[in-house]
Amino acid sequence: MLVNKEITSVELTQDVLSRIDEVEGDVEAYLTVTREEALAQAEAVDKKIAAGEAISFLEGIPGAIKDNICTKGVKTTCASKILEHFVPPYDATVMTKIKAENPVILGKVNMDEFAMGGSTENSAYHVTHNPWNLDCVPGGSSGGSAAAVAAGTAIWALGSDTGGSIRQPASFCGVVGMKPTYGRVSRYGLVAYASSLDQIGPLTRDVTDCANLLNIIAGHDEMDSTSSAAEVPDYTKSLVEDVKGLKIGLPKEYFVEGMDPEVEQAVRTAIKKYEELGAEVVEISLPHTEYAISTYYLIAPAEAATNLERYDGVSYGERVDGEDLVQMMTNTRDEKFGEEVKRRIMIGNYALSAGYYDAYYLKALKVRTLVQQDYTEAFKKVDVIMAPTAPTPAFKIGEMIADPLQMYLQDVCTVPLNLAGLPGISIPCGKSSKGLPIGLQIIGKPLAEETLIRTAYTYEQSQDYHKQMPELGGKH
């Protein structure tokens, strides 16, 4: 529509900003809205179009950024009081790549503090609500990103995924969310939670937007030593409807006891649809899946405890004074970190402490290797693996916050991918009887994002979930 001059970028941006004004009071997806900057960016694109210049896919299109991705000159808080006034002096690599495309950036969206949580209830500022049912969580930790896209208060968003933090909120909010292969997208400028697990990825309304966004953010970065040097293909070439002969692995371990029957039904119905479209289903086993959660909740907190040492009231961030240096650091961390962050720091330091390192952390690293080997074996027989993204649809706000173990178990289907560094995408595949979205997770081999996009796109085109919007503010 922009290219055809049916609308201007300013009109589009004003429309999305008025949508924010209309529903943000209910959804609360944003932490910072950069209204004036967004309109200035839109005006610049309109001038370009008026001058007859060609524009790229993202140019003039409004989107939102998770608040743990550094944005030069715009507050980046990680939804924590300890970074309440932190304004980065530089852009994350993904922001440099995104800005080169001249999009409209609407602001920063809410998350669980330092990306620790699965419901966006751990934000130090406010709880984000699921646009499909305001009494429910949007998932986490990229809940603000998913909720904004679902509510129409952003056309696209960036999130980060350490144990399912893009895919699970995408599932809960009925949008598309992809965690690329570890290293496919630079982590430079992503505020670290668990460095060997974190990965930035897109949240969009459909698979086409996901492929286009991935084209922009993927690629090698010399500022990130873990970044993959593999060439980046054009992911939009994978937007074809074709799964004939595709071998789909169905791991018995992912259809776990306690899974919501409506979730299992929706996922199995989607897999049947794949069979109708010409794919072949193969039963597989990933025997070490049952240890993945325990492994993740040793490795991730251990890395988090180390990464969060830097917030000591000295270099940057907030400070709470004390009688001496130790007291100042203690007061700062005690007052400014939330409960979940403190819990994970303590678990991590315990796992790394003398006498426990071998028993816990080292053992977890060995089990991580076994989880990776399970996938390597499975992918000798199949092209992709399919499973539910989350064992339930979105749960009620407050339902699990007092029971962290119950919350951790929500990650049972998503965590193994991060341990193995594999790519995964969540696409909507149904609704519960209460009208809450259900997500299908498609898992690929390392750097097989093209296969995931083709597989997801083929199913999406046979459905209309990507065209559905929640009823908010009295209109769709």
Q: In angstroms, rounded to a whole number, what is the distance separating the alpha carbons of residues 352 and 10?
A: 52
**Of 96, 84, 109, 94, residue with least CA distance to 33:** 109
- Indicate if 66 belongs to the active site: yes
Catalytic residue among 9, 142, 145, 165: 165
Residue written as token pair 């929640």: 470
Catalytic residue among 66, 97, 336, 445: 66
Q: In angstroms, rounded to a whole number, what is the distance separating the alpha carbons of residues 203 and 166?
A: 7
Q: Name the residue type at position 110.
A: N
**Of 29, 24, 20, residue with least CA distance to 144:** 29
Q: In angstroms, rounded to a whole number, what is the distance separating the alpha carbons of residues 149 and 309?
A: 33
**Of 132, 41, 140, residue with least CA distance to 469:** 132
**Of 474, 435, 423, residue with least CA distance to 200:** 423
Q: In angstroms, rounded to a whole number, what is the distance separating the alpha carbons of residues 259 and 109?
A: 30
- Indicate if 196 belongs to the active site: no
Strand partners of residue 201 = 159
Catalytic residue among 9, 80, 119, 141: 141
Q: Is 116 exposed, middle or buried (0-12, 13-18, 19+ CB in 10 A)?
A: buried
User: ∠ CA 153-236-372 to the nearest 5 degrees?
Assistant: 90
Q: What is the DSSP letter of 127?
A: -
Sheet holding 424-431, edge to edge: 30-33, 104-109, 62-66, 156-161, 199-204, 176-179, 424-431, 437-443, 384-388, 247-251, 280-284
Answer for the pair 79, 108: CB distance below 8 angstroms, yes or no. no
Q: In angstroms, rounded to a whole number, what is the distance separating the alpha carbons of residues 460 and 458?
A: 6
Answer for the pair 163, 39: CB distance below 8 angstroms, yes or no. no
Q: In angstroms, rounded to a whole number, what is the distance separating the alpha carbons of residues 60 and 39?
A: 10
Rounded CA Rg of the chain = 21
Tokens read off for 82: 């300890």
**Of 199, 193, 237, residue with least CA distance to 218:** 199
Contacts of 326 (CB under 8 A, 6+ apart): none
Q: What is the DSSP letter of 136?
A: B
Q: Which helix (H) or strand (E) holds 275?
A: helix 261-276
Q: Name the residue type at position 429.
A: C
Residue written as token pair 């989607």: 270
- Indicate if 244 belongs to the active site: no
Q: Catalytic residue positions?
A: 66, 141, 165
